[in-house]
Chains A and B, each alone.
Chain A
Amino acid sequence: MRLYVTLLLAALLALAGVLLGLWWAPFVVGLLLGAITQRARIAILAGAAIGLVGWLVPLAVAQERYGLGPTAQSLAAIMKFDHQAALPIALTLLVGTLLGLTGAWLASAGRGLATSART
């Protein structure tokens, strides 16, 4: 139960950061999550999920409010993706996911090393 609450709070924290313009918030939240979660695999998966949610939710809200089709197409054109509108969306979500994942992984790995050194 505590884990779920932690994950929920972490996700909200990451989301709030992104909404405030702190797009790197998932990385920081991932770091925190990695540092306090004992099981590395869970920390990393949760970090990735939080990164994804942190960037997905604002994107979904924008889609709901404005429609992202023309924007996605324009970004694809700018990035020379030949009007493949899905690619900028995928790239965006990948970046968010990677930020959360790497934050959690980094902290978790540090924690793991410290633990093994103590034992």
Chain B
Amino acid sequence: MTAETAVAVRPVVETTVAPRRRRQTLPLLNLVGALIVSAAVLYVTFFPAPGLPALGPAFNPTTGAWTMAADAQVTNRVLHLAGLRQPVSVVLERDGTAHISAQTDHDLFLATGYVHARFRLFQMDLMRRQGAGRLSEVVGKAAVNSDRFELQLGLLRTAQAEWKQLQTDDQSRQALVAYAQGVNDRIAEAESMHQLDAMFTLLGYQPQPWSPIDSLLVKGDMTQTLNFTDTPLVMALLKKSLGADLSSEWFPILPPNQQSPYDIGPYAKPTIAPIETMSEVTDAKAQSAAALYQRLAALPPGLVAKGGASNNWAVGGAKTTSGGALLAGDPHLHLTLPAIWFQLTMDSPGYHAAGVGIPGTPIVLIGHNEHIAWTLTDAQNQQTFFYLEHEDAVHPGRYLWNGGWQNYKTVSYEIPVQGAQTQHLDVKLSVHGPVISERGQTTSVWWTGNLPSQDLGVLLRLGQAGNFGEFRSALRGWLAPTHNFIYADDRGNIGLISAGYYPLVAKGQPWLPMAGTGEFDVIGTIPFDDIPQAYNPPDNILWSANQRQVTSSYPYYIGTASNFFDAGYRANEIHRVLSQPGKLSADDMSALQTDTRDSLAAEIVPVLLQSLSKERLNAKESAAVDLLRSWDFRMETNSAAATIWWYFWGWYLDETFKPWWKSRAVPVDYGVVFNALGQDLEAWTLHDPGNRAFSAPGVGSRTAPDAQRKSFHKLIGDLTKQLGPDPHSWSYGKVHQRVLENLAEVSGLNYGPRPDRGDGNTPLAAGGYPSTEGPSWRMVVDWGAKTFEAIYPGGQSENPASDWYTDRVDSWWAGRLNPMLTAGEADAAGGIHTWSLQP
């Protein structure tokens, strides 16, 4: 072919071959494009991507998260529940408070399980997963450390042991079984109706059937949150860095300040010799303590108790306007949405109680029955002990105990991790408990929460008690966490028992990690008759607010001032109010629950004003002094003096102790011992202004007034920068807010932050900035007027689309209480829903 012919034929080729190729290429490209886009769409709809659930199951309108709209509706219903023996009636009040009336105890517990799960299944699932170390199975790697720690600590092992110990005819075993059946009835119903909580859908998993062990795990979670402490590790680090003299003085066994114990004796003679005073901490011990302390400090909040805060008190009939006994209580816990509590009345031939229980457990934990009312605070005695196991190279994998070399027992676990490989965990167990650190010296932990208990049975009997004798008898079996159970009955009697296990060690220093060789082991508990308790005291008042319950003459060691009894300011204020002359009413009880008077401020501010009396002050400082001078010591949101006081106290602590922390390189977070140091500072300010603590290295010789003046000048500068130049505008609500946090840590579903009154020292507890803990359930009972009132922040439903998610918050915030109706009263009230549960 010539070039010419080639050119001549070329157009022909172009017009015949190219369109065909294009016709074949374009459809192919189209298909490839369709395949790629379809694959992408199908992938994101069927499979979760990082940070996103699988979009199809999560967002489709019939079975996805949108079903929370239907779930939020509560209507009258007739339901058939597997396992039910007789019909059960459930009346739901306008605010969702449930009244369950059953003809048998079995049916009552079954229906309670159903009702709990209807409104709180996801919360229950999270709680059991936390205790069982199975959180990472649904939330991924973020929870692996928590799971590993929980499995080491052993809530699951304890729950399994407790379950094994329950006899088949045991009332609590039967309650647990029936309760589990009720929960599983709801799981089956929710799955069939596509009404599982939206969080299941969004996290892409289905709840496993509930078992009785799960309920025991939930109880274990609470024990851990309230009583598993790291204070012996903290004490070891403080002692090593600060030295024996300062740490003994600053962190004493008995509180350095004036407190208000409720049980003032006389006490029984001790059955054990008094324990020794402080001694040295070796380098090895300090290194081991530091490693473990850091590990525990890195765990999520709630796994290690950080001091508690709760109030309760009772007034005998002789001191009340109604003539009947009064009881008030407000346990202070992490305030979450949904709340830890679910309000209900449980009514059957063998059990009648009204109040609140923890979803996942089949009982009323705080409340009343026909004859008695009770509530509780944490007793705070030391329940966690660390043991340094003695090992050597000649006996690998063994430890020395009571003169012989022992083998560790080993338990193995698999930890499924969502989106990652399953992790394997071996847990070593010594006679003291699980080994929780092998960095430095191998350290095991003895913790009361690891003693298999029958506490659930105790709580059942508590709800069935009709007088103080039965109440006290029931509490004999209570182990952990130790609680101050307060009591008032319909005959005007009041009582308080700080029930639980009070470990005794034969000798040694239990506030520090101890040698695990046997001679320092826990050898038993303080006898029940010797634990703090009181009944119908002459002054007709009883109170507890996490303070040390007994005086310095109490013969047993129950913990140091910093491990972790409260500093006592709330108890002092409660005692001050209750012990005033005159009679008290239910309204007085309610007012005291929302009392914002800071008794520490009432002590310290006059001293501060005296220290400033001859100081040259500028205009702002003078205005601040005037505000303090006219202040009533109440931490109200509109009070500028409250802001000045609180900043002053913080600066004063810093001014006194921070230089020590720096010069001695103390490896403990300063905030951890804030309360303990506060007690010292209070005592020195009032009684020992020349204490050497004010003359820290590098600051020269000073006294308390010197430190106060310096702190005052600093705080005025600090507040001017933060809040502007006019002290009158420094209202407390600008710096102090409260937030109720969503349990699943979805910040958009929190309530607040919202300005709120109170602080860590006031009966209306609101420590922290913002405050996330506080009165989780306020209850006031007047047996004379037969009135029962209560409230908790939040609502009965965990569904954020429900009216019952936050419907109680505003009333709670304002300090109002709602009447606790009987089932009959609820039935007669308007706006109720009724469920008829049929076999």
Q: Which residues of A pack against B, CB within 8 Å? A: 18-21, 23-24, 27, 40, 55-56, 58-59, 62-63, 65-68, 70-71, 73-78, 80, 82-83, 88, 91-92, 95-96, 98-99, 102-103, 105-106, 108-110, 112-113, 115-117, 119
Contacts and interface: CB of A to CB of B under 8 A. Distances in A.
Contacts of B729: none
A106 B62 contact: no
Interface stretch (B29-37, B258-266, B477-485, B592-600): B29-37
B749 A106 contact: no
Given A20-B62, A71-B69, 15 more contacts: A19-B62, A23-B45, A66-B69, A66-B70, A70-B801, A74-B749, A77-B747, A88-B59, A91-B59, A95-B59, A102-B37, A102-B41, A105-B34, A108-B34, A110-B31
A73 B65 CA distance: 12
7 contacts: A21-B194, A62-B69, A88-B59, A92-B66, A95-B56, A113-B27, A117-B24
B56 A77 contact: no
A119 B22 CA distance: 13
Interface of B: 23-24, 26-28, 30-31, 33-35, 37-38, 41-42, 45-46, 55-57, 59-66, 68-70, 72-73, 194, 198, 202, 746-749, 800-802
A92 B61 contact: yes
Contacts of B800: 70, 74, 77
A21 B31 contact: no
Contacts of B72: 66, 70-71
A76 B35 CA distance: 31
A56 B61 CA distance: 8
Contacts of A19: 62
A69 to B, nearest CB: 8
A58 B747 CA distance: 29
Contacts of B56: 23-24, 95, 99
A70 B65 CA distance: 12
A54 to B, nearest CB: 9
A43 B677 CA distance: 76
B119 to A, nearest CB: 16
B41 A98 contact: yes
B59 A102 contact: no
A80 B745 CA distance: 12
A66 B30 CA distance: 43
Contacts of B33: 109
Nearest to B202: A78
Q: Which of B28, B38, B61, B64 has the most CB of A within 10 A?
A: B61
A55 B24 contact: no
A21 B63 contact: yes
A28 B56 CA distance: 14
Contact of B27 (A71, A82, A109): A109
A27 B62 contact: no
Contacts of B45: 23-24, 95, 99
B519 to A, nearest CB: 55
A2 to B, nearest CB: 25
Contact of A71 (B23, B30, B42, B68): B68
Given A18-B60, A112-B31, A106 B24 contact: no
Contact of A80 (B27, B42, B748): B748
